[in-house]
Amino acid sequence: MVDERASRDAGQADRLGAEWETHRPAVFGVAYRLLGSVADAEDVAQDVWLRAAGSDLREVDDLRAWLVTVAARRAYDILKSARVRREAYVGPWLPEPLLTGPDASEPVLVDESVSAAMLLVMEELTPPERVAFVLHDVFELDFGRIAEVLDVSVPAARQLASRARRRVAKAKQSAPRAPKAERERVLATFRAAYQSGDLAGLVRLLDPDAVYVTDGGGKVSAARKLIHGGERIAEVMVRVGRQWQVDRIDLLEVGGELSLVCYRHGRIYSVDTVQITDGRITAYRRVINPDKLSHL
């Protein structure tokens, strides 16, 4: 009996060890999409590994689906409590930036659902809607598994995903994703104007109704309210640019989209993601909370 158990455990360890690195991006990816936090997603991935290492996997036919389901269940628990933490958050909350380019430290299944804009849209969904949408529309899990995670019936899980899908589609329609070439052109021009303190140049690139959001989390000086209007935003950015005196600004892929990354004293000081419509920036989102940048 002891030898049989030891053989079983060794077999499970071999299977998990052989397949974990293949499936880890999906485990991390589902947690990040649900939580918008790299640190929390890393914790979930570690929890899933420990759960898998201690489970009997002989009856598991689809290990990826099993791991993603366990990750979603753990992330769902965190997501429900995160709503309370967000209410106490100082200033605007933005998702924790995730580098997704070729030099990214954390591999993740990259699509539109990891962009800052989409994570903010999903933030408006209820936790069950968000779970149903991510698991079905992004990870293609069947509604039977989703119903188990949410502890609802299969028809209810379908309804949650459908409701979330409609809200996401409406948001995407109102703010369509800019083509890659347009994004590169606008950001390169914006970076040059920002670095030179060209106020008029920034105004030309900002939509008159643009919004500027800064997430400092109470850890650094940052605007605690949204700033509206292209001219006002340009004035603020020129003033901030003079104060910061950044070492350089790189164009890097964040959440699957080209973004601006500012360095001060050799370290990343801010990660700026933008929404672009008809060649102008309609939303500028800046993360400067050092807790959200420490993993970069």
At 74 the pLDDT is 96
Residue type, 101: G
pTM of the complete model? 0.89
> DSSP readout, 152-166?
S-HHHHHHHHHHHHH
The residues facing 211 across adjacent strands are: 228, 283
Helices in 197-229 by DSSP H: which ranges? 199-205
Residue 191 burial class via C-beta count within 10 angstroms: exposed 0-12, middle 13-18, buried 19 and up: middle
- For residue 186 the two structure tokens come to 């606008």
Sheet holding 227-228, edge to edge: 227-228, 206-215, 280-287, 267-277, 257-264, 248-254
The torsion defined by the Cα of 114, 120, 124 and 129, in degrees rounded to 10, comes to: 0
Answer whether residue 250 shows pLDDT above 90: yes
C-alpha triplet 244, 249, 250: angle, nearest 5°: 155
Does the pLDDT value for residue 87 go beyond 70? yes
pLDDT of residue 134: 96
Residue 224 has pLDDT above 90, yes or no: no
- For residue range 29-39, what is the model confidence (pLDDT) as tens digits? 999 999 999 99
pLDDT in tens, 13-26: 666 777 898 899 99
The amino acid occupying position 246 is V
Quick: pLDDT tens for 174-216.
888 899 999 999 999 999 999 999 999 999 999 999 999 999 9
pLDDT digits (tens, 9 = 90+) for 93-134: 999 999 888 766 666 777 788 899 999 999 999 999 999 999
The owner of tokens 């001219």 is 231
Residue 10: pLDDT over 70: no
Six-digit token pair at 25? 């991006």
User: With contact defined as beta carbons under 8 Å apart, do 62 and 68 qualify?
Assistant: no
What pLDDT is recorded for position 257? 92
pLDDT on residue 58: 83
Residue 86 has pLDDT above 80, yes or no: no
CA-based R_g, the chain, Å: 21
More confident residue, 30 or 3: 30
How far is 38 from 295, CA to CA, in rounded Å?
8
Q: Residue 6: pLDDT above 60?
A: no
Q: Is residue 57 predicted with pLDDT exceeding 90?
A: no
pLDDT-derived band of residue 273, with 50, 70 and 90 as boundaries? very high
